Structure 1
Amino acid sequence: MKQRAPLTLAAVTAALAAVTGIASLTAPAAPAADGKKTAAARMPVERSTLVCPAPSSSDIADTAYTSYTPGAAPGAKAEAKGTGKGAARLTGATKEAKAVLEPKEPGKPVGATSSGSEAPALTGTAEGALAPGWTVQQTTKVAVGRARGVLGTACGVPGTDFWFPAVGTSKGREDYVHLTNPDDTAAEVDVKLFGPEGPVKAEPGRDRITIAPKSSQRLLLSTLAPDTQLADVTAHVTTRSGRIGASVQVAEDGVGTDWLAPSTDPAGSLVLPGIPSDATSVRLVAFAPGEEDADLSIRLAGPGGSLSPAGSEALHLKAGMTASVDLKDVTRGEAGSLLLAPTDAKKAVPVVAALRVVRGSGAKQELGFIPASGPVGARATVADNRTGENATVLYVTAPGKADAKVRVTASPGTEGGEPESKEIQVKAGTTLAVSPPPAPSGGKGSYALTLETLSGGPVHASRTLTLPHEGVPMFTVQPFTDDRSTVLVPKAVQDLSVPTE
């Protein structure tokens, strides 16, 4: 064996000088100097980025933006360095980059408005105390016209992979995917469609788009394959380089309009929370992106327990093909959540799914979407809730075998007031509709609702915001998902040892 040259005193001295005083990051359970293991600390995130799509192409659109940071994150051991003070700014995704919202402190929502078709897509960053759990809601109302209705979306975290079941390319549908690049480098994006027969062949060059830095584009999905008209399609948006925010704006002749948010990542079991009690039509659209077929059981978790919809107890998904089930008025006057699970627990195939929900009838219909969403987790927030009869309804579901306890906290309003909290119990396998949910005492304006899982669960939730207009039940549904306001930070320890071999 070849021997190493012996270390000289000078070399040892230089090595010690290089490492003295430097804290090296170790694994979360690395042994400390005393032989005991040290755990990673859960700390507040120090920076959050959000992206909002351009709200509407209608000249009579009215849009409200609401920004809110809940404050101290649950489970955080201590404030991370630099989180004592904070800053946040939401600006247009344009070269001019004019500020739309600049919240100043956590615990107080801030609102802004815009009108017309010129409002741009927005990008924003929150730092320090304003970063953990930062939430921005965009709500647009279009009173009349072909695309009349209420469109609501929580501004999203930029990423590289998005699934959108329940889009369409049929006559009478105008579905635009909005792609926004928040960064200083270009993003190259692929958009693929999958119908009931599998992949939809796109016109050459149309399914790949380059999004310039700090800019946004929208793509009419039906132009990808002009000769193919399909009612139920799954869109898959991925990036070859860079990251983007992605949302789909759906407009359906004679029915209504809304945003379709991405489904949660493919999983063997899914929860689609918060079908309104007065839904007149509910259609499930699902897709298995892998190479295996999926067999799913369909159950509705209502206020009294879970049951299988008559005639729609199961769904077979062929790999790579979109399938749909017309559940009609499945809720029958009681709010509920749809639960999808593998019929064979030993063969869980990852799937994505979303619900197309219609309220009203005839010329008074309105359209909304409920994508499969993840659990509330430690904490989740939805902004822009409003007081008034049935304006905001909160739906909380415990899909598993354990009861759950949740704390619901209403923030102050955008025009003042004091926060209010309430703890609620949700029985296993049920959905609880909370109407009205807690609201701030005193003050006016819209407010945020924050959910915290206290025990049991997991818990899934959504809220419906209803803004009626001339007899049309205009509404939008937003799910609550874990705000990822904390992160595990490995323990830093001093390591002055010098390797000799």
Structure 2
Amino acid sequence: MNRTTLSLIAGATALAAVTGFAALTAPDGTAATGAKPTTRLPVERVGLVCPAPSTSEVAETRYTSYTPTGTGTGAAPGADKAEPPTALLRPATSAPASGDTGKKGKKPKAPKVPATVTTPGKPVTAQADGGSVPAVTGTATGTLAPGWTVQQTTVVPAGGARGLLGLGCGAPDTDFWFPAASTDKDRQDYVHLTNPDDTAAVADIELYGPEGVLKSQFTEGIAVPAHSTVPVLLSTLTSGPGRKDVTVHVTTRSGRVGAAVAAADDKLGSDWIAPAADPAGTAVLPGIPADATAVRLVALAPGDDDADLKVQLVTPSGTIVPAGADLLHVKSGMTAAVDLPNLTRGTVGSLLLTPSDPKKPTPVVAALQVVRGKGDDTEIAFIPATAAVSARATVPDNRAKGSTLSLTAPGAAAQVKVTASAGSEGGTPVSKTLTVKAGTTTVLTDLVPEGLKGSYALTVEPLSGGKVHAARTLALPEDGVPMFTVQTFVDDRGTVEVPSARQDLGVLD
């Protein structure tokens, strides 16, 4: 998702337009010399959206806000360097119109800010407990914008939504895919639509089951007012029996929204389903825990063609084919699912989906449903297919114990730098450079800031070689339940390409 600002995009587009026009209309009638190559500069403004964390009165939610260091000192053209940088989260509630001071001339009460970053390199945390915590939206500007990341972590120790729910707050967008959702009687899945902007958004929701698009009602033209959130229970959108495996497609007709699916299973636990990577011929789903007791793969081919996928597990020692599940046929527009029993066999791994015929790749979206524990002591999490980290990605809210980082190089070997930030309450950052061998998954559990107090952030930066996909597992056991959540690393897009232009007064003739 694009975290650059509209103003920056507009500025870059305008520069490109002027440069192109100058090249075609030089004063002497000949083509002007081309502009300098584009350069990469830090973004000046980014926005994030966090859905309402829980409706449980016993829920305990922690927000962790973090901006990494080392993005560079450049600035976008026209940026106001005198304006102090900010990184703020605010409740996503309807706001008064600009200039409205409320009754009797009093200014509206300022919303409580859950977490505010004041300087790059140090996480800031805040606690918000109970079932009435609202969705929040946030904006970071200036030097706090490049790479700004927020993690929302919720512990629900009891009840039907029991579990550890983790989500990296996402950038608003217009198109989202969520495989591994469900309308089954044992599941309560809500898609949360949050609008961070000053104007209303209009969204559509499509559901794909094993037989194709599900007949649904009330899924088109869903209004999401400005600065508000709308949760939609998936099972209310269709008639007839529930489906165990459903793929959700959220698009907007106007405006932008942040979207995530809250999945709660009466027997297994609960967690968030984050958006999957855009449809592609190859998919990587990193970070399956070593002690997973059940893994279910869900995939959809959204185009006109069926997909035949080769299923492989990328382990620390190499790439293997799961027994009895080496191939998956996905019919066009139909959600396919397969159980992968005894998949990890005691080692952390990542699932790799590739076209059976490399010459005929068919784009797919995919996600995993992962279970740890047995009997009444189980917990569930979801791992969506994720794109490779191109420049840098961060997952905040790591603890001294319980954090596992998985790095997967499905193709060529890759060299990667991993940094554990300073702690939110103290500690010195540490970094480590390592090589992920081709076709393997490397696991880190011991990279912790020196003298750590509080929680810390993990940042992954590819240095050379092939593509790297990453995920962080956070395990926080509670009363014998192996509670856990998995967050994939999504590139932070902390920089943007800006074209260079030279002065040419000929464009004014």
TM-score of the two chains, using structure 2 as the length reference: 0.89
- When residues 63 and 28 of structure 1 are mapped into structure 2, their CA distance, relative to the original with a 3 A threshold, is farther
Please point out which of 40, 47, 67 is paired with 1:49.
47
Please identify the structure whose Cα radius of gyration is greater: 1
1: distance between equivalents of 2:33 and 2:191?
Answer: 55
Q: Answer yes or no: is the 8 Å Cα contact 2:392–2:460 preserved in 1.
A: yes
Shift of 1:441: 1.2
- When residues 207 and 175 of structure 1 are mapped into structure 2, their CA distance, relative to the original with a 3 A threshold, is farther
C-alpha RMSD of the superposition: 2.1
**Counterpart for residue 11 of structure 2:** none
Q: Answer yes or no: is the 8 Å Cα contact 2:420–2:431 preserved in 1.
A: yes
**Counterpart for residue 208 of structure 2:** 194
- When residues 28 and 362 of structure 1 are mapped into structure 2, their CA distance, relative to the original with a 3 A threshold, is farther
- When residues 251 and 26 of structure 1 are mapped into structure 2, their CA distance, relative to the original with a 3 A threshold, is same
Q: Answer yes or no: is the 8 Å Cα contact 1:180–1:214 preserved in 2.
A: yes
Aligned pairs for 1:87-486 within 5 A = 87-95=86-94, 97-203=111-217, 205-388=218-401, 391-400=402-411, 402-436=412-446, 438-486=447-495
Report the 3-state secondary structure (helix = DSSP H, G, I; strand = E; otherwise coil) of the residue aligned with 2:451.
coil
Please point out which of 68, 71, 74 is paired with 1:78.
74
Q: What is the one-letter code of the residue matched to 1:134?
A: W
CA deviation string 1:324-379 (max 9, x = no partner):
01002201111100000111111111100000000010011100000000111111
Shift of 1:403: 0.8
Report the 3-state secondary structure (helix = DSSP H, G, I; strand = E; otherwise coil) of the residue aligned with 1:406.
strand
- When residues 326 and 159 of structure 1 are mapped into structure 2, their CA distance, relative to the original with a 3 A threshold, is same
More deviation, 103-112/53-62: 103-112
Shift of 1:30: 7.0
CA deviation string 1:358-410 (max 9, x = no partner):
0010011100000000111111000000002xx1000000011x111111101
1: distance between equivalents of 2:433 and 2:59?
Answer: 37
Q: What is the one-letter code of the residue matched to 2:420?
A: A
Q: Answer yes or no: is the 8 Å Cα contact 1:28–1:39 preserved in 2.
A: no
Please point out which of 16, 19, 23 is paired with 1:26.
19
2: distance between equivalents of 1:494 and 1:323?
Answer: 56
Unaligned runs of 5+ in 2: 1-14, 96-110
CA deviation string 1:149-169 (max 9, x = no partner):
100000000000000000000
Aligned residues: 472
Q: Answer yes or no: is the 8 Å Cα contact 1:298–1:314 preserved in 2.
A: yes
Between the two proteins, what is the percent identity of the paired residues?
58
Shift of 1:27: 5.7
Q: Answer yes or no: is the 8 Å Cα contact 1:50–1:158 preserved in 2.
A: yes
Report the 3-state secondary structure (helix = DSSP H, G, I; strand = E; otherwise coil) of the residue aligned with 1:105.
coil
**Counterpart for residue 491 of structure 1:** 500
TM-score of the two chains, using structure 1 as the length reference: 0.91
- When residues 322 and 34 of structure 1 are mapped into structure 2, their CA distance, relative to the original with a 3 A threshold, is closer
Q: Answer yes or no: is the 8 Å Cα contact 2:164–2:485 preserved in 1.
A: yes
Shift of 1:492: 2.2
Q: Answer yes or no: is the 8 Å Cα contact 1:71–1:130 preserved in 2.
A: no
2: distance between equivalents of 1:335 and 1:25?
Answer: 52
Shift of 1:442: 1.6
